[in-house]
A and B are shown apart, each in its own frame.
Chain A
Amino acid sequence: MAPSEGAPGLPRAEALPPTGHHPRPDAWGKVLGQTRYVGDLSLPGMLHAALVTSNRASARVRALELSAARSLPEVVAVLTAADVPGANSVGVIFPDQPLLAVDRVRMVGERLALVAARSREAAAAAVGAVRVELDPLPSVHDPVAALAPGAPLVHEGGNLIRTFQVVRGDVARHFRRATVVFEAEYRIGGQEHAYLEPQGCLAVPEGRQRVTVYASCQCPFYVQQAVARVLGLSLAAVRVIQTPTGGGFGGKEDYPSEPAACAALLAWHTGLPVRLVYSRETDMQLSSKRHAMVVRHRWGANGAGKLCFAEVETFMDAGAYVGLSTVVAERANVSAIGPYHVPAVRVRTHVVYTNNLFGGAFRGFGAPQVSVAGEATMDALARRLGLDPVEFRRRNVLDDRRRTTCTGTRLERPVLARQCLERAVELAATTPPVAAGRGEKVGTGVGLVLYGCNLHHGGQRLDRSSAVVILQPDGSVVVRVGLTEMGQGLLVAVQTVAAQALGVPPEAVEVCLPDTSTVADSGPTVASRGALAAGRAVLDAVRRLRRRLDPVAAELLHCPPRQVELLGGHARVRGEPERAVPIAQVAAEMAARRIEAIATGWYRSRPRRFDAASGQGGAYDFYAVACHLAQVVVDAELGLVRVARVVAVHDVGRVLHRPALEGQIHGGIVQGMGWATSERLAVREGRLENPSFTDYVIPTASDAPVVEIEAIEGAAGRGPWGSKGIGEPSLIPTPAAVRNAVCDALGIELFELPLVPPVIVAALGQRHPFAWLREQPADEGVGVR
């Protein structure tokens, strides 16, 4: 099963390097409190920025009175759209979003003016002194209602941004073969990223010619583009340095461009460094969210328990500006069926403007929502066929024999979906059953994912990555990459790959956070592509470095250059390990001879074809599968869900670094569990009514389930040594598995997420333990609703 044949980075038939276990290079600085995040940076003369924003979801701007704010002490600048020297536009893909509103606001939190002051208190006072007069306009807050005739228009030109489709097989013909048809509408809520470090950046101007931006972000090149556009500067004049980033999860993909452009604009005008760090409340109201979706299903299966057809229509709530919504929709669209063989498929995914919260990237990128719906329907069909949910999946899951996805892609063998499912069931069976207390019910649910690794075809132009490797004269190594560490373990993954490729211990390798002036645009750190894309670029750089290193080593070893291998801190003669010189000695020799000890590396994915009209073709470069099995305990009286255990079996290709891999799976499971059970965005008329950790409830240590992980190696991906991505597949199956487990525990079907207590109590209806109270009108005050 070893993926050594053709695993990227290896000559044929060479043994795989061992999996890394060493501590992360960033761990000690963080645990000692020595790591400096952007909020920890300050410079002499630095100003503090704050935003004046709209408190209405849809309005015309009648007046913006700034003079009172400008006259306050310590206030240095108050700027509006008129002060933007370049383009007043921050949309990543569509130019539909202004940095600063001109005459119209379309969402709560839309920026109207920017303030810079000598203290945070003065900046806050200036925001309070700006008088904003807004004339309310009609607004729309539901993606289905937004498409109805006569709905208020968020932008001229209509609320439908785009529809994506998958068209495969003849649904009408296969509909006739189905003996069971299930129809449902799922209402899936959004999610707040809740990274612990709020959005922040520090812009340092040099006159009006150039600016350096230090930013907490996932995508420094996006920030660079936005700042250059807004200031009318060249890309080269804008240098973005990623600061240690306290969590991202997609929330620091597109969004940090906005605060960065604000800080840079203030810096450009004042000539002073400007820091903008959001409060938690501002962060939660303004930053992007996982999209709320309405997912409609009509799926059918035959008497043999085989799926016949699947129709999916999804309405994605983009909010008032497109942002990354169309890209998220691309993944949602092709992920709607899951790892199942279905002869006829029709998927439509509508991206819709509303005046709600701004939808954007969030770990899973549209796949978790449609996976919850897909796996729910799988359970519903199983129940109607009298089959166990696992058995029904066995009959339909893709495998080596039936391996064509809904986009018409024939998966590479081995296809491990069936193995993941069976292994998860086996592992769950070996553990003692979850204990339930009085009034509690226990349930089990499964969720599977077919994850398209790396960027969708639509984003393929971004799918490249740059690296620089510098061998220091003492044998230590500096590695620069264009992708970011945000907690997920990019640094340790890149360190591991570089160390293995150069045969040095990991401690010898220092990996730097990205700086746009030192590496080429590497695209975004998203789509579980970090270790893959940065790692492949590093391997390429090492390959090029060795064209100069190997001849020097060969001279020292008295062997031909092609016999040089790098292993265990030494350059050695292949097959004669006793003939070795330390790599440090080779490095010193290169330095003494003035041989170039720096090399660049590059990665790009293989080109592929995809037909957007039919959704057929090479949607992704390669695929990973995973199965999560969740066991829950539900207090039926209170509607409270406790996730007791999650078994996670993942097809990972190759484990690069074990603790980093497991850390991603743990975190993905708990973040997915939170979304499924407690993380409800209370949005009323576009305003978030619970922008705090008291009211928006993310899991605590007390909620952590027991997690059992099995990583199956052997189905080679195209990452270093055959690895695949793990960041997103670690989350996607959990919410589906949890939802199915809750339904199993209660014997009901649920069509909403998150499963907060009122949803469960309402769905129980007559089966709620206190339902009888509702039948006694005299006791109205005692009823549960």
Chain B
Amino acid sequence: MAEPVRVRLRLNGELREFSVPPGRRLLDLLREDAGLTGTKEGCGAGECGACTVLLNGRPVTSCLVLAASCDGCEVTTVEGLLAATGEPHPVQRALVEAGGVQCGFCTPGLAVTGAAIVARGVGKAPERSRLISGNLCRCTGYLTVLEALERAGGAPDGAE
């Protein structure tokens, strides 16, 4: 067996240290070692987006990221989208209010990617659709999800 690797993360704002096998996925570190089960595994192949987390602020599919490669990084999971005050992220609120949550399994990934999209401030609907298209959802048909993105901070169409 290969030697375990030490991984230090700023995980949802907190400094954490883990010792993991070199082949361990970031997804498994989060779900099993850190106990953060909000991040879901839908395919294990980077296709569905259910395991999306923010790595140094950028959305990544954590099933395709080796935990060992994240040493020194900042990782934000769905649990970490809550503000320090406990207030949900505007994308989370918008998903609930727009009816963008059905079975909920893709929802944490959608919320994380959505938060990244809102942070980037993308205004036009086709661009929002494109940016969220790495997150598969089988229940909603995406219409309420796109509405939620618009409500959460993307300016109305044409306003740029």
Binding site for B on A (CB under 8 A): 23-24, 26-37, 39-40, 193-198, 244-249, 279-280, 486-489, 659-660, 662-663, 666-671, 692-694, 698-702, 704, 707
**Residues of A contacting B42 in the complex (Cβ-Cβ under 8 angstroms):** 196-198, 280
Chain A residue at minimal CB-CB distance from B23:
A121
Whether A194 pairs with B102 at a CB distance below 8 angstroms is: no
Chain A residue at minimal CB-CB distance from B77:
A33
Which of B101, B134, B136 sits near A27, CB closer than 8 Å? Answer: B101
Q: Which of B126-160 contact A (CB under 8 A)?
A: 126, 128-130, 132-146
Tell me, in angstroms, the Cα distance from A698 to B138 when the chains sit together. 8
**Residues of B contacting A666 in the complex (Cβ-Cβ under 8 angstroms):** 140-144
- Known contacts A195-B138, A692-B47; A30 and B104 CB within 8 A of each other: yes
- Known contacts A24-B101, A196-B136, A244-B104; A670 and B78 CB within 8 A of each other: no
Whether A693 pairs with B79 at a CB distance below 8 angstroms is: no
Minimal beta-carbon separation of A280 from chain B (angstroms): 4
Of A30, A249, A701, A704, most buried by chain B (CB within 10 Å of CB) is A701
Tell me, in angstroms, the Cα distance from A247 to B102 when the chains sit together. 8
Tell me, in angstroms, the Cα distance from A279 to B128 when the chains sit together. 30
**Residues of B contacting A194 in the complex (Cβ-Cβ under 8 angstroms):** 136, 138
Whether A35 pairs with B104 at a CB distance below 8 angstroms is: yes
Number of interface residues of B (CB under 8 A): 53
Tell me, in angstroms, the Cα distance from A198 to B42 when the chains sit together. 7
- Known contacts A36-B37, A198-B42, A694-B45; A704 and B104 CB within 8 A of each other: no
Residues 67-102 of chain B, each 1 if its beta carbon lies under 8 Å from chain A, else 0: 000000000011101100000100010011101011
Please list 23 pairs of residues, one from A and one from B, whose beta carbons are closer than 8 Å in the complex, sorted by A's number: A23-B96, A24-B96, A27-B101, A31-B101, A31-B107, A32-B82, A33-B38, A33-B77, A33-B78, A40-B37, A195-B105, A196-B50, A196-B136, A246-B40, A246-B106, A663-B140, A666-B142, A667-B138, A692-B47, A693-B43, A701-B128, A701-B137, A702-B133
**Residues of B contacting A692 in the complex (Cβ-Cβ under 8 angstroms):** 43, 45, 47
Whether A280 pairs with B136 at a CB distance below 8 angstroms is: no
Question: Is chain B's binding surface mostly helix, strand, loop or mixed?
Answer: loop
* B108 interfacial by beta-carbon distance below 8 Å: yes
Chain B residue at minimal CB-CB distance from A662:
B99
Whether A196 pairs with B38 at a CB distance below 8 angstroms is: no
Chain A residue at minimal CB-CB distance from B93:
A31
A-B residue pairs, 9 tightest by C-beta: A33-B38, A487-B103, A30-B104, A246-B105, A670-B141, A33-B78, A666-B141, A659-B99, A693-B47
**Residues of A contacting B81 in the complex (Cβ-Cβ under 8 angstroms):** 32
Minimal beta-carbon separation of B50 from chain A (angstroms): 6
* B44 interfacial by beta-carbon distance below 8 Å: yes
Minimal beta-carbon separation of B84 from chain A (angstroms): 15
Which of B82, B102, B146 sits near A667, CB closer than 8 Å? Answer: B102
* B62 interfacial by beta-carbon distance below 8 Å: no
Minimal beta-carbon separation of A127 from chain B (angstroms): 16
Tell me, in angstroms, the Cα distance from A104 to B104 when the chains sit together. 40
Whether A280 pairs with B142 at a CB distance below 8 angstroms is: no
Minimal beta-carbon separation of A526 from chain B (angstroms): 16
Tell me, in angstroms, the Cα distance from A415 to B103 when the chains sit together. 33
* B111 interfacial by beta-carbon distance below 8 Å: yes
Known: A196-B136, A486-B103. 5 other contacts (CB 8 A): A27-B104, A280-B43, A488-B102, A700-B134, A704-B141
